[in-house]
Amino acid sequence: MVLDEIKGMRGMLYRKLKKEERRPGELPGAEDVEAERGRFKEIIGEKEKEMELPGFAVKKPKHIVEFPEMEDVTQLNVTYPLMEPFVYANIRWDKEKKELVYVVVEPQLTAEEKKLLKQISDAMIELIDVQLSAIKEQGKAIEYLEKQVVKIIKEFGVRLTRNQYIKLMYYIYRNFVGFNEINALLDDPNIEDISCDGVNTPLYIIHRKVGSIKTNIIFSNMEELREFVIKLAERCGRYVSYAEPILDGTLPDGSRVSATLAGDVATRGPTFTIRKFSERPISPIEQMDFHTVSAEMLAYYWFLIENGASMLIVGGVATGKTSFLNSLCMFIPPEAKIVSIEDTRELRIPNEHWVPSLARVGFGIPMPTGEKYGGVSLFDLLKESFRQNPDYVIVGETRGKEAYVMFQGMSSGHPSMSTFHAGSIDTVIKRLTTPPIELSPSLLESLNVISIMIHAREKGKSARRVREIVEIISVDPKTDEVCTNVVFKWDPVTDKFEKVNESVMVEKFIAAKGGTAEEAVVEIDRRRQVVEWMFEAGIKDFEEVTEIVNLYYKERKKIFEMMAKEGRELKAGAGLMAAARQYTPMRRPELKGNDRIKAKLMLNERHDLKPVALGEEAREEAEAAKAAEEEEMEEASMAKEREEAEREIATATRPIAQPRPTRRLVELRSMKDTSTMKKETGQMQGERPVSVLSLLGFKFIKEK
């Protein structure tokens, strides 16, 4: 019985028993040969199956994670994917430490797997002969890595399961193509800032929804942290060492890196801070969606930028200045030539006719002037840019002597836009007119608009707002006082934007083109409606928004037809004309009565629009305007008659002075002594006061 069971197992013992059953010299039968052959195939098949390695692929989620609105943060527990199916982010309340924590969830490796990963990584460093960061397509980089890993595994003779291979491939991809431990943080679109303060210190991030929060990532090894900072410098295309321990650069995705390497500079070990920038710039409609700006303000910016206004985007650190400047650049006409100047690449302007310039750090030992050989500063680039005859000059950030060149360019007719660190108008003027910039106050008149931005944390962790839009009207040459005009202002109580005063710059630019204020008001309102239509229609992507703006410049009739198809007609009723009628910040010829409506109809025809039929309200308004005009003319006529009558009465009752000799103008002299002149002219004029001409230096003599 037991023997039969052993035979049924057909293992090593079975074959031994079968061999003993055969007589000496007897060959194995066909059944025995087939059994041995099948067993051999089974063993070989298992080995081949074990070495069959799966393909590795990385999938990034495309959906947007919606965070629940919670007043009690202790109840928050949100998990969302960063790189499926390998990495997830979990934000939860830590009951022990009484704080929110950001936990990066990655595949766990055993001690044996960590040792194998180290061996494969060392072999990869010796084997790889290309720079992985230079491979633009992620699929090709993964394919190259996978080929090298399989080759190393075969050479080592290591047998891996499917799960082991996938885990090892993820970590190799993360360390060779990505950014090691912080790769997951860079993949999270909700993170704005990543900060490492040294060794054995948790990394902190700034999350769009929950603000500053601690993570579970810690660099516990000083040498690993040093190597990582050097890796950041290499990815930025910069050099960092003990002799030059400070790094300021930009990663390929546009994120800005600031790091220190030497221990005597950063006493807790190497540090780094990464300010993330989206690969796709934020469009003006997205800024409106974030409540950074209103539709009316965007229409105002659109009109000014088209007409070549120079402006500064002003604010503190991390107030969204550069992102907002990039958004406004989408209003620049498509055929305009743009030259941008930056020290670290942050701007992404969608126009084709764009010349991006980047400052360069010098090489070697500094010269006696403090500059390094081969260095190219913002000042050098800005001087060169004006020789390229640009339509718009955009400076990433103004903070030094390059401001003088930029303002000289503004004065010579080159529209310029830039960001500037300041918190108010007074601070802007003080910083511009004092060292190290030290501009002449008269140059400030060439600047048209200053936009002040703030980080409104009370409205949300990532809430940015345009607090004020201020126009520079003039500068007093005697007192150097700057006359300003606040056009828009943000109300922190209601979180809404309100128009404080009418724009002087709008009328200035439209007058330079021979237009009227009414035309400008109608045009800005038309653009406001286009902006609102894009917002309501969900047109927020920067490429789509730029396409609509460019189409508006070329064939705006098509835009209006698109709006009409979606049930949104342009509103241009009597209320708009009433607003235009009140728009009189500067002296200009007034349109009377029906002329206002006619001007509006002419403007519509100029833009290939059908004339707007006048409704009952418009007719009544025109008649009321005409009656008011006639009443004004009648009052002016009566006032003139009264003035003439009073003048006649005053002349008739004035005492007659003694006869005066006839005088004629002989020469113009400088007025040195007014008292002497009074004596000379007082004798000729009798009792009358000294004439204006005599006080101005005209000398009178008697005719013979």
Same domain, 649 and 667: no
Reported as a single tens digit per residue, the pLDDT across 579-590 is 444 444 433 334
What is the DSSP track for 417-469? Answer: EEEEE-SSHHHHHHHHHSTTT---GGGGGG--EEEEEEE-GGG-TT-EEEEEE
Which span out of 479-493, 556-570, 625-639 was modeled with the highest average pLDDT? Answer: 479-493
58 domain residue, yes or no: no
User: Which value, to the nearest 10 degrees, does the dihedral of the CA atoms of residues 419, 425, 428, 433 take?
Assistant: 140
Q: Is the pLDDT of residue 252 over 50?
A: yes
Reported as a single tens digit per residue, the pLDDT across 296-349 is 999 999 999 999 999 999 999 889 999 999 999 999 999 999 999 998 888 999
Same domain, 610 and 687: no
Per the structure, the count of domains in the chain is 5
Same domain, 187 and 327: no
Q: Is the pLDDT of residue 678 over 90?
A: no
How high is the mean pLDDT of the chain? 79
174 domain residue, yes or no: yes
Domain that holds residue 547: 504-654
Q: What is the DSSP letter of 329?
A: G
Reported as a single tens digit per residue, the pLDDT across 646-664 is 776 666 554 444 444 433 3
Which span out of 248-252, 389-393, 615-619 was modeled with the highest average pLDDT? Answer: 389-393
More confident residue, 263 or 296: 296
55 domain residue, yes or no: no
Which span out of 153-162, 370-379, 468-477 was modeled with the highest average pLDDT? Answer: 468-477
63 domain residue, yes or no: no
Same domain, 218 and 245: yes
Of the pLDDT bands very low, low, confident and very high (cuts 50, 70, 90), residue 574 is very low
Same domain, 112 and 248: yes
Q: Where are the alpha helices (DSSP H) in 316-401?
A: 321-328, 378-385
| CATH number where 237 lies | 3.30.450.380
Phi/psi for 668 (5° steps) reads: -110, 125
Q: Is the pLDDT of residue 11 over 50?
A: no
Same domain, 102 and 134: yes
Overall average pLDDT of the 611-637 stretch = 65
Chain centre to alpha carbon of residue 165: 42
Overall average pLDDT of the 678-689 stretch = 43
Of the pLDDT bands very low, low, confident and very high (cuts 50, 70, 90), residue 3 is very low
Q: Which two tokens stand for residue 641?
A: 């008659």
Q: What is the per-residue pLDDT for 132? A: 63
66 domain residue, yes or no: no
Is residue 338 classed exposed, middle or buried when 0-12, 13-18 and 19+ CB atoms within 10 A define those classes? buried
Same domain, 103 and 14: no
Q: What is the per-residue pLDDT for 284? A: 96
Q: What is the per-residue pLDDT for 508? A: 93
Same domain, 313 and 438: yes
- 313, 324 contact by CB (below 8 A): yes
- The full length of the chain comes to 704
Q: Is the pLDDT of residue 557 over 60?
A: yes
More confident residue, 23 or 266: 266
61 domain residue, yes or no: no
- 607, 557 contact by CB (below 8 A): yes
Of the pLDDT bands very low, low, confident and very high (cuts 50, 70, 90), residue 616 is low
Q: Is the pLDDT of residue 641 over 80?
A: no
Using alpha carbons, select from 681, 673, 672, 687 the residue that is nearest to residue 701: 681
The pLDDT > 90 percentage for the chain reads 46
56 domain residue, yes or no: no
59 domain residue, yes or no: no
Q: What is the per-residue pLDDT for 271? A: 95
Decide which of 469, 501, 533 is a domain's last residue. 501
Same domain, 269 and 123: yes
Of the pLDDT bands very low, low, confident and very high (cuts 50, 70, 90), residue 686 is very low
Q: Cα separations (Å) of 75 from 78, 462, 557?
A: 10, 21, 53
Same domain, 483 and 609: no
Reported as a single tens digit per residue, the pLDDT across 179-196 is 999 999 999 988 989 999
Decide which of 501, 536, 563 is a domain's last residue. 501
Q: What is the per-residue pLDDT for 586? A: 39
Crossing angle of helices 556-565 and 517-537, in 10° steps, is 50
Overall average pLDDT of the 158-176 stretch = 91
Of the pLDDT bands very low, low, confident and very high (cuts 50, 70, 90), residue 593 is very low
Same domain, 559 and 522: yes
Considering the entire predicted model, what is its pTM? 0.68
Q: What is the per-residue pLDDT for 505? A: 95
Q: What is the per-residue pLDDT for 451? A: 97
Decide which of 501, 522, 554 is a domain's last residue. 501
More confident residue, 90 or 618: 90
| CATH number where 491 lies | 3.40.50.300
Specify the range with the lowest mean pLDDT, choosing from 103-107, 436-440, 534-538, 606-610: 606-610
Same domain, 461 and 515: no
Q: What is the per-residue pLDDT for 203? A: 97
Could you count the other beta carbons within 10 Å of the beta carbon of residue 29?
11
Q: What is the per-residue pLDDT for 579? A: 46
Crossing angle of helices 2-9 and 12-21, in 10° steps, is 110
Overall average pLDDT of the 607-617 stretch = 42
Q: Is the pLDDT of residue 100 over 50?
A: yes
Q: Is the peptide bond before 284 cis (omega within 30 degrees of 0)?
A: no
Q: Please tell me the distance from the alpha carbon of residue 145 to that of residue 127, in angstroms, as a whole number.
A: 10
Overall average pLDDT of the 397-416 stretch = 91
Overall average pLDDT of the 252-269 stretch = 87
